[in-house]
A and B are shown apart, each in its own frame.
Chain A
């Protein structure tokens, strides 16, 4: 297992049949390699297939052709080595925060003692700042708190890879910033290889080591990969004050704009 090719996506294709039975390739030839402990954001217009790529890595979505290898093992189905934080918190409403996290922990550490498992659960909830709300039910928590439980549930699994599917998409901007820092804080000492799907250029630049910009679908692939040169641990105020931040952001937006332009051109060509 090579550290610099810890995660490898090779010629990944996802095709869905249209109503006439013809295969429509949503993602066509997605190539990407990630080093261990790297944070990559995938950004692109809505409907371009970002989430499709992530669910294929998670194993929740079948790969039509190509291959995905995570930590030296090919992905064939879902598993707790690739923890997912969904856009909706997806907590089980009949369980407390503690039990929601414990459900995964019991599964991953079946031989650990009860006390040890409880310790792991408590630790994870502590890390996301929910030490006081462990026995609360999801309905008693705000959206932000629920998503914190979702994050705790993912990191408690000690995954090889963390998959974040627009994890802050449904939160207000203040909560969103808090949770971005919660995740960065965890990654500072856990060093989990992370892929995040996002819409938000600021978030992508602030959090990532590299940003993978996807072209518009159908037939979406990697358009451009941008290195983000900021040191870790990162400080939001400092980074926001640098000129580089705005340069990265400008390039991102420019790419997205070009994609949009291209799409319009393509549509015109098809029509004319």
Chain B
């Protein structure tokens, strides 16, 4: 049987799908190669189409239920709101990037950019004014429409109110008469109380009638007028853009780094010239002091960077970086210690109490402990050699490594170390006795035995442990960041919760998805690694 080139490609792709654990896409690929379409369609319907329908149903249920639950942070966001918050966050990130560029521009480039943005700003300003006019017209329209509906209602309301007021006065008068009759002994007490009771009932009915009418009027007022809503939305989005262009103008003019530097320098030059021309000692002292201050401010400006607002992308990058630091710290400890535990029963007996006691400790407790312990190592983080070095490495400098990141990573490591350790120990201890016999017959030395037999046979379990560790670490990290205000996705959620803007709730749910999706990919990565090192060619469970 000859294998065609196509078959080879197909086989390789199927193998890649199997390796990565996305076996649900297997029938799609087979279908693409035209293999038994009927069977493949069956599989696609069963394992892809039906699950998609299920997920869509869940989304639909969510979007249906969400608006019915009012919370103090506003309505529960629908899937659409969450999607919207993705694009809002994306825009924020884009704008921060543009602003930081503008901030650093100098010379002709700055001038060119400035005139460009000015033109845009002017054009947009006209547009915004136009939209504002539209909004005003629509508001007026709405008011007119409401007035048309409300006028008869409020007329009736006024009429009824005065009518009822009159009726009420009349009843009061009658009651006063009755009370005089009672005092004169012309009627019974019962008659007076009956009259008062009747008056109360009638005024209740009247009040209710008036209230009903009033709420009808309010209802009309609160009704949304779609054209106005649309106009407002358009206006808001344009006004937002205009505001952004305004900020850009600031960053290209007054707040631009180079503009400010030039100003400061020319001021300094001025003082210097004045100083040179100073005649009296008093003037010289005053001008020298000024010049020194101006010098200082030039120095300060030279080192200045754009203080970017934190974006979701920055927080995500930082979280992933932190989790890997913690994960590698955990692996660095867990693998050697685990191997020793598996090899030596006495060592295992020594480690067992430590593992048993510290494994169940909550990450929150570790976080607090590390916050204190790590903090003590870096009394002055700004000048500490570790952070200075890390700050000079290109990619890492953008992540702002600080003590908060270190203790978050330590917390991750502390919680992630146990699954890897226990699994490694188990893998080493459960080595096939036949393989041990082979090693004994060949009289392999300790290192040969370790690297040729013990570690390879334990690797699948070691990686199973590391996979659990990374999953645990990722979960722990988000909580640690939220609690310790260390920059990352956890802090993003916490800040949103504290800020309470209209987007808050949607942003929190968006982060929930971001964390989940990243966690999923981290797990997939570990599965692939685990499969690659598994000697039996079989993979871990998915």
Contact = CB atoms under 8 A, between A and B. Distances in A.
Interface of A: 58-60, 77-80, 82-84, 86, 88, 90, 92-95, 103-104, 107-108, 137, 139, 157
Contacts of A79: 441, 443
B39 interface: no
B443 A78 contact: yes
B176 interface: no
B442 A94 contact: no
B443 A90 contact: no
A95 B443 CA distance: 18
18 contacts: A59-B440, A78-B437, A78-B440, A78-B441, A78-B443, A79-B441, A79-B443, A88-B434, A90-B438, A92-B452, A92-B456, A93-B535, A93-B536, A94-B459, A103-B442, A107-B442, A137-B535, A139-B535
Top 4 A-B pairs, shortest CB-CB distance:
A94-B535, A94-B456, A90-B434, A78-B440
B537 interface: yes
Residue among A78, A79, A94 with the most chain B CB within 10 A?
A94
A104 B444 CA distance: 8
B433 to A, nearest CB: 10
Contacts of B437: 60, 78, 84, 86, 90
Interface string B436-464: 01101111100010001100110100000
Contacts of B435: 90, 92
Contact of B452 (A83, A103, A137): A103
B170 to A, nearest CB: 105
Nearest to A89: B434
Interface of B: 434-435, 437-438, 440-444, 448, 452-453, 456-457, 459, 535-537
Given A93-B535, A107-B448, A139-B537, A60 B456 contact: no
A79 B435 CA distance: 15
Contacts of B457: 92, 94
A58 B537 CA distance: 32
Nearest to B537: A139
Contacts of A82: 441
A137 B134 CA distance: 77
Contacts of B452: 92, 95, 103
A107 B456 contact: no
A103 B536 CA distance: 19
B456 A139 contact: no
Contact of A86 (B434, B442, B456, B459): B434
A119 B438 CA distance: 22
A59 B435 CA distance: 15
A58 B453 contact: no
B439 to A, nearest CB: 9
Nearest to B452: A103
Contact of A92 (B440, B443, B453, B537): B453
Contacts of A107: 442-444, 448
A59 B437 CA distance: 10
Contacts of A86: 434, 437
A88 B444 CA distance: 20
A92 B453 CA distance: 8
A24 B537 CA distance: 43
A80 B535 contact: no
Nearest to B459: A94
Contacts of B443: 78-80, 107
Given A90-B435, A92-B452, A92-B456, A83 B441 contact: yes
Contacts of B440: 59-60, 77-78
A139 B441 contact: no
B171 to A, nearest CB: 102
Given A88-B434, A92-B438, A94-B456, 13 more contacts: A58-B441, A77-B440, A78-B437, A79-B441, A82-B441, A84-B437, A92-B452, A92-B453, A94-B459, A94-B535, A95-B452, A103-B442, A139-B535
B521 to A, nearest CB: 28
Nearest to B440: A78
Nearest to A99: B452
A83 B434 CA distance: 14
Contacts of A94: 456-457, 459, 535
Contacts of B442: 80, 103-104, 107-108, 157
B450 to A, nearest CB: 13
Residue among B434, B438, B535, B536 with the most chain A CB within 10 A?
B438
Contacts of B438: 90, 92
Contacts of B459: 94
Residue among B434, B441, B444, B459 with the most chain A CB within 10 A?
B441
A111 to B, nearest CB: 15
Contacts of A60: 437, 440-441
Contacts of B434: 86, 88, 90
Nearest to B453: A92
A58 B442 CA distance: 11
Nearest to A100: B438
Given A92-B453, A94-B456, A84 B441 contact: yes
Contacts of A84: 437, 441
Nearest to A105: B442
Contacts of B441: 58, 60, 78-80, 82-84
Contacts of A108: 442
